[in-house]
Each structure stands twice: as structure tokens, then as C-alpha cells.
Amino acid sequence: MKKIIILLLVISGVGFMAFRLYHNKVEMAENMASAMKTATSVPVTVEKAQMISLDRSFDSNGVFEAQQEITLMSETNGVIVRVFKKKGDYVKKGDLILQIDDRLIQSELTIAQLNHERFAKDLQRFTNLSESDAITKKQFEESERDLGISEAQLMAIRKRLDDTQVKAPISGYINEDFYETGVLVNPGMPLAHIINKYPMKLKVFLSENEIATANLGDVIPVNVNAIPNKKFEGTVNFISDKADGSFKYEVNLIMKGEDLEIIKPGMFGTAKFSSKSPYPSIVINRKSISGGLKDPGVFVINDDAAVYKPIKARPIDASLVEVMDGLSEGEEIIASGLINVKEGIKVKVQ
């Protein structure tokens, strides 16, 4: 009997709670409907699209790079017998950096030269004999072929001999070396890293909105972050025609002026681009944009109702955007209260 009474009490309690929840839900819905009837319009503020003169000056950060950087590779195999230049040394193009053992190749060259001389004499003799038909045409052709083969062999051996003398392919400083006397090298083995700093260049990347400011030959002020008290300049000598994967365009500036030796490859620099002259443009507050800058739009007011209007815009700074299409000067747009605004809703300007 007690169990039945307890069960009835539980069922009664659950039913009462369900009734109260339903009653509360109905009451809330009625209150919301009443509020909607009371508030017939959404309060908003407006702003006017303004025509102002914009200065499209901007800074772009980049990294200084050497004009030339190469890794010198071995083209032959053998033991290094002499070192002429080491890490930190300056080399001119063609300077001898190291010598690889060439004794075997010198021997091969001597043999090849003797064979070439013999074949050359044979061909001369056969040429004289052919005039009197003392040899066959086949013998003469074989003599010409032997001389041609010996010339090719001689050329190949001379190239191998030349490869034992490792020379600087460019002028610059040896930034790294990977060799010592007595070390055995093989073809393709890195021997040295040579850097030609001059003229130093600053590589920066500009957005599609910034690239129109850059022109070949422009002289741009440059700050070196590690040398804040010195002023430098760079001349634009390259502008890429195609954007990279991040939709940026590469621009190179060749540094000019004094004290350039204190700038090192890998340092950070800032190029200060400036527009030739300010130009008029329509500007609105960034907070008036609905949908963000990827798909921008604004709300205008027509017969006390909000009307959505797509626009084309690009940012100027953290608070303003430039409207390139979609708005006219003096046109009013909703500036605040956008969280409650949608297409066709009634609004009231505060």
C-alpha cells in the first residue's frame, strides 16, 4: 500500500512540474508577442558616406638578401692537396680556392697528347699517299676517325684536369667552407658557400591594394631594424607580374648609398612606400559593414525600412574602409544597431 501511495505522489509531482513548465513557456511566448507589438521599429543610428582625400602611404617589412649566393660543388673525385682560400676570405671570380690531386690525370693527358700527335702524323701521311692512290679510301677514313677520337679524348681529359682546380665562379666572400687538406672529395660534394652582397637587395611582398603604388625605378626610404639610427634608400628594380599563393606580389629594392657594408643578409628592413598624391575616395566606418570585408554590404533606409546593399570595399586602417563601388557621397547608411537589423525590418533613427 505504501508503494502505491509513493508512486502516486511521484506521478503527481511530475505532472505538476510539467504543467508549470508548459504554463511558463506559454506565458513567455505571450510576453514576446506583446513586446513585438509594442516595439514596431528597431532603433538605429546612421552615418553619411564621406568623400575624403586618401594618402595610400604604407610600410612593408622584408628581409635583406645578398645579390648572389651559390654553393660550390666538386666536379671530380680525389684528395685535396692544397688550400688557397678559407672561410671569411674575399675571392674574385676565377680565383683558385683549392687544388685536388691531379697526378693520374696529368699522366692520362700526356698519353692522350702523344696519341693525338701520332694520329695527326698518320693522317698527314695518309693524305699524301691518297694523292697517288697508294692507300684505300677505307684506310684514309679510319685515320680521320682515329684523329677525331683522340681529339675528343684529349678534350675530356683537359676538362677533368681543369676540374681539379676549384675556382670561384663569382666574386664575394666565402661564408662557409667544407674542405681541408687531405680530405677525399667526390662529384656533387659541397665545398663552399659564397656570398656576393653587393648590391644588397631588400625583398618585400605587397598586397593587390598596395602594388599599384610601386613602380620600377622608384627610390624608397628604407629603415634597417637592427640599425635604427641610420637612414637608407633602395631603388625598385623588380615587380612580379603574378601573385604568390598568399596573393602577394614580390618587389625587390636594390640598396644604394653609404655604409651599406653594415647591412647583413638576413636582417629585417622596412620599406616606406608613399603615394604620388592624395586621391578622393568614399569612406565609411568599418563598424557599418555587415557581413565582414570578404563579402561586404551595408544597410540603407528606404521608407523607414532597412534595405541591404552590397558594396566593394577595402580597409584603410583599423576603423575606416574605402568604398570602391556601391555607395555615393552623402548616402546615409545604418551605423549602429546592426545586430537587430535585417532586410525589410522597420527602423527608427535615434
Residue 36 pLDDT: 46
Residue 52 pLDDT: 84
Residue 35 pLDDT: 47
Question: What CATH architecture is 42-54+279-349?
Answer: Beta Barrel (2.40)
Residue 62 pLDDT: 95
Residue 290 pLDDT: 86
Every domain of the chain and the residues it spans: 42-54+279-349, 58-67+196-273, 102-163
Q: Write the secondary structure of the chain as one string of H (helix), E (strand) and C (coil).
A: CHHHHHHHHHHHHHHHHHHHHHHHHHHHHHHHHHHHHHCCCEEEEEEECEEEEECCCEEEEEEEECCEEEEEECCCCEEEEEECCCCCCEECCCCEEEEECCHHHHHHHHHHHHHHHHHHHHHHHHHHHHCCCCCCHHHHHHHHHHHHHHHHHHHHHHHHHHHCEEECCCCEEEEEECCCCCCEECCCCEEEEEEECCCCEEEEEECCCCHHHCCCCCEEEEEECCEEEEEEEEEEEEECCCCCCCCCEEEEEEEECCCHHHCCCCCEEEEEECCCCCEEEEEEEHHHCECCCCCCEEEEEECCEEEEEECEEEECCCCEEEEEECCCCCCEEEEECHHHCCCCCEEEEC
Residue 20 pLDDT: 63
Residue 37 pLDDT: 45
Q: For domain 102-163, give its CATH number from 3.40.50.880, 3.40.50.300, 3.40.190.10, 1.10.287.470.
A: 1.10.287.470
Parts of the chain with a pLDDT under 70: 1-39, 131-133, 276-277
Residue 123 pLDDT: 80
Query: Model pTM?
Result: 0.61
Residue 28 pLDDT: 61
pLDDT digits (tens, 9 = 90+) for 65-96: 999 999 999 999 999 999 999 999 999 999 99
Give the class (CATH, top level) of 58-67+196-273.
mainly beta
